[in-house]
Every structure is written in C-alpha cells, then in structure tokens.
C-alpha cells in the first residue's frame, strides 16, 4: 500500500507537470505587470504641473479633450496632485488617453490606440492570449492546481530534524555537488521562501476568475454574508425634465468633494453619458494614488444630485466598510504587493519570478530521474 508521503509526492509531481506551462506564463507576465505603472511613466513626457490657481472643473476638461479629439467622447478624468489630469476618451473601438494641465487646460500628451505592451502582458496573464472564456478557465484552474501544488510542496519540505531544516533553508553546495542536487535545492529552498507570497498571489487572483471562489471567500470573511451582485448605479429617469445637464452635475460633485477631502492625493470622476438617460456620475477619492483599497467611491444621480445608495465591497467609504469588505477591497493591492508600498511590489516581483522557475526546475528534476531510470 502506498504511503501518505509517496501519495503527496505523486500529487505534487503530476499536478506540477499539468499546470507548469500555465504557471510559467502567469508568473512571468505577473512579475512584468507589477511595475507597469512605473515603467509606463518612464516612457511618458514629464507630467508634473505647478499649482497655478484653481483646478479646472471636469466639464471644462471634457470640452477641451473632445475638441482636441473630434468625434470622441470623454468617459472619465483622473486628477492626481501635482500631475497632469488624465482623460480617457472612446471613439467606436478606439481608446485615447489625453494628459491635460488641470490649471491651464494645455494639452501635454496624447496616447492613442497603438500597440500597448502592458495590455498585451495583461491579456497573457489573464487568458494566455486564448479566447476570453477559454483562457479564463485555463488560467484560473491552473492557478488553483498551483495553489494545491504549493501546499503539497510545503508538506514535503517540512523538516523532521535540525539538519533537515538547514538543508531546507540553505544551499549546502560544494564544488562536487551534482546538477540534480542543485536543481533540487533551487526548487525546494527557493520554493519554501516564496511559498506564502505565492499562495497570497494565487488566492487573490482566483477572486476575479472563479465565481465560486469569490463568493466562498467573501462568505467566509464576512461571517456568512452573500456577495452582492455588481451593478452600475442608475439615475432616476423620472426626473429627466430638470434643467440639470451632465456637465453641471459632474461639476457639482467635483466642487462638493474637493473641500471634503483636502488631503486627498487624487480624484476620479466618471461623466454621465448624454446617450444614456439613466447614467450617473461616478466619483472616487484616493488618499494614496498608488493604492486602490482605501479609496472612497460614490455615485450621484445626474438629475437630483443626490448620492445613490449602493451595496457591495467596492462602494462607499472605506472607513465604514466591515472586515470582509475591507479585505475584498485590498484584493488587487495584495495581489501586486502595492499594499506594502515599493518593498511589497519588489517582494511580489521576485516571488513571481521564482514562481516561474518552479515548474522549470521541477520538470528538469523529473526528466533527469526518468532518463536515469531508463539507463538502468
């Protein structure tokens, strides 16, 4: 009868081989994505602006942007302290980003619909560049298998003695140490050091890709609450006869929130679409523009200007959210390490890089052992 340890070894081996290619691609694209914002910024012109009076309201920036990009519709605008305002515009399938001085209205830079390297990376990370429905399933169940492989690997790594602990946490190499031993240590020791980080990355990643996982973890962290269905806030169309225009409405929200959050580093405003009577005004306030979890998110009726009540982990004030909702808000920032600032992103980068090496070293170990058996 096969022993428990041998059974775990078999599970670890075959699950690792089954998910290896998926894990390699997801980890490589993941470590590239971690610093996408910093790398993108390095290739853009200087976006810093001097405080030269009052910020132009969203309606004014919308007018400037749509005049600069004829036929395009401004969807939202992001104000970051000390930086150019960033507007996103769409025209049919084209997407344009326009960077405008929020004090003078001068256009600083236009980023068109050309090839976006990090969009390519993200598509690979999410779907392996396969059709969306197929790719999502392959990636997320591949990650689930990887999580099980990590847990089984931790069980196999667990030392029974001090000598085992030394061997499992360090490279005891000599000049005479063979390739198989070196590969084993690269797989075993490095895998141990990044195991917890990779488990956190994997489990937060599945929140977006596996509905049962998302609902289950929300239920668990909120003490049995059901994850509310996500939906876009709707304005009351019975009040369409009012003289309130979408431009006046977004400016009202802008002038309401600015004095309420004097220390905020960033604001984002979503324009109500003139083509959709039920569309609302979206607003997000960022205490830190490099993090998403602690932002306050609101929606306002474009006619009455009243805040639209919403349920869910991603809406309302962060301070008012319960433990489970706060944890769900942290999901992306944990996934990329941003919740711990630059050190966290560096840790996630190297953890993902080592994660990509694990199926490689694991495969090479298996290959060398199978070849050795054939020679006997």
Q: Are 113 and 94 in contact (CB under 8 A)?
A: yes
Per-residue pLDDT tens for 239-276? 777 778 999 999 999 999 999 999 999 999 999 998 89
Question: CA–CA separation, 156 vs 262, rounded Å?
Answer: 53
What single-letter DSSP state applies at residue 317? -
HSE toward the beta carbon, residue 283, CA cutoff 13 A: 27
Question: CA–CA separation, 335 vs 301, rounded Å?
Answer: 33
**How many domains in the chain?**
2
Residues 343 and 291 in one domain: no
Residues 11 and 128 in one domain: yes
Residues 329 and 341 in one domain: no
What single-letter DSSP state applies at residue 172? -
Q: What is the pLDDT of residue 376?
A: 65
Q: Which residue has the tokens 């290959």?
A: 367
Q: What is the pLDDT of residue 2?
A: 67
Lookup: tokens for 316: 């309302």
Q: Evaluate if residue 371 carries a pLDDT over 90.
A: no
Question: CA–CA separation, 35 vs 328, rounded Å?
Answer: 22
Question: CA–CA separation, 314 vs 291, rounded Å?
Answer: 14
Residues 209 and 278 in one domain: no
Residues 219 and 257 in one domain: no
Residues 126 and 206 in one domain: yes
Per-residue pLDDT tens for 179-237? 999 999 999 999 999 999 999 999 999 999 999 999 999 999 999 999 999 888 999 98
Residues 346 and 259 in one domain: no
In this structure, is residue 222 part of a structural domain? yes
Give one word for 311, left, alpha or beta, with left for phi > 0 and alpha for psi -120 to 50: beta
In this structure, is residue 180 part of a structural domain? yes
Residues 278 and 136 in one domain: no
**Average confidence (pLDDT) over 302-321:** 95
Q: What is the pTM of this model?
A: 0.93
HSE toward the beta carbon, residue 141, CA cutoff 13 A: 7
Q: Which residues contact 145 (CB under 8 A, 6 or more apart)?
A: 15, 18, 19
Query: Cα separations (Å) of 82 from 79, 166, 264, 265, 344?
Result: 9, 51, 12, 9, 25
Question: Across 57-155, where does the E strand assignment appear?
Answer: 73-80, 85-91, 94-100, 107-111
Question: CA–CA separation, 298 vs 282, rounded Å?
Answer: 6
In this structure, is residue 114 part of a structural domain? no
Separation of CA 332 from chain center: 4
Residues 219 and 325 in one domain: no
Per-residue pLDDT tens for 42-75? 888 889 999 888 999 999 999 999 999 999 999 9
Q: Which residue has the tokens 């630059």?
A: 342
- Domain of 251 in residue numbering reads as 237-335
Nearest to 142 by CA among 190, 191, 209: 209
Lookup: tokens for 91: 């025209």
């Amino acid at each position: 009868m096969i022993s428990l340890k041998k059974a775990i070894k078999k599970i670890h081996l075959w699950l690792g081989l089954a998910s290896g290619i998926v894990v390699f691609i997801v980890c490589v694209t993941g470590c590239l994505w971690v610093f996408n914002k910093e790398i993108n910024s390095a290739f853009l012109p200087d976006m810093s602006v001097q405080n030269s009076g009052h910020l132009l309201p969203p309606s004014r920036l919308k007018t400037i942007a749509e005049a600069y990009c004829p036929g395009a519709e401004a969807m939202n605008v992001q104000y970051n302290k000390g930086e150019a305002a960033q507007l996103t515009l769409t025209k049919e399938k084209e997407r344009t980003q326009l960077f405008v001085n929020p004090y003078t209205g001068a256009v600083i830079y236009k980023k068109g619909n050309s090839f976006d390297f990090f969009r390519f990376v993200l598509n690979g990370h999410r779907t392996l560049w396969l059709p969306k429905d197929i790719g999502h399933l392959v990636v997320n169940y591949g990650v689930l298998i990887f999580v099980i492989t990590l847990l089984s690997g931790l069980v196999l790594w667990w030392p029974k003695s001090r000598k085992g602990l030394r061997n499992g946490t360090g490279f005891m190499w000599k000049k005479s140490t063979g390739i198989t031993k070196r590969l084993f240590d690269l797989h075993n020791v490095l895998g141990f050091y990044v195991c917890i980080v990779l488990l956190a990355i994997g489990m937060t990643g599945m929140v977006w890709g596996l509905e049962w996982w998302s609902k289950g973890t929300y239920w668990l962290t909120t003490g049995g609450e059901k994850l509310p269905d996500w939906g876009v806030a709707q304005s009351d169309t019975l009040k369409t006869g009012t003289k309130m225009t979408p431009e006046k409405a977004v400016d009202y929200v802008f002038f309401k929130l600015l004095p309420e959050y004097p220390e905020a580093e960033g604001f984002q405003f979503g324009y109500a679409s003139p083509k959709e009577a039920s569309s609302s005004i979206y607003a997000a306030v960022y205490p830190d523009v490099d993090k998403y979890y602690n932002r306050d998110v609101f929606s306002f009726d474009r006619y009455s200007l009243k805040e639209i009540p919403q349920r869910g982990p991603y809406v309302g004030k962060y301070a008012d959210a319960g433990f489970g909702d706060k944890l769900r808000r942290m999901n992306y920032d944990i996934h990329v390490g941003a919740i711990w600032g630059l050190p966290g992103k560096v840790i996630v980068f190297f953890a993902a890089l080592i994660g990509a090496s694990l199926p490689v070293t694991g495969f090479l170990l298996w290959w060398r052992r199978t070849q050795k058996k054939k020679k006997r």
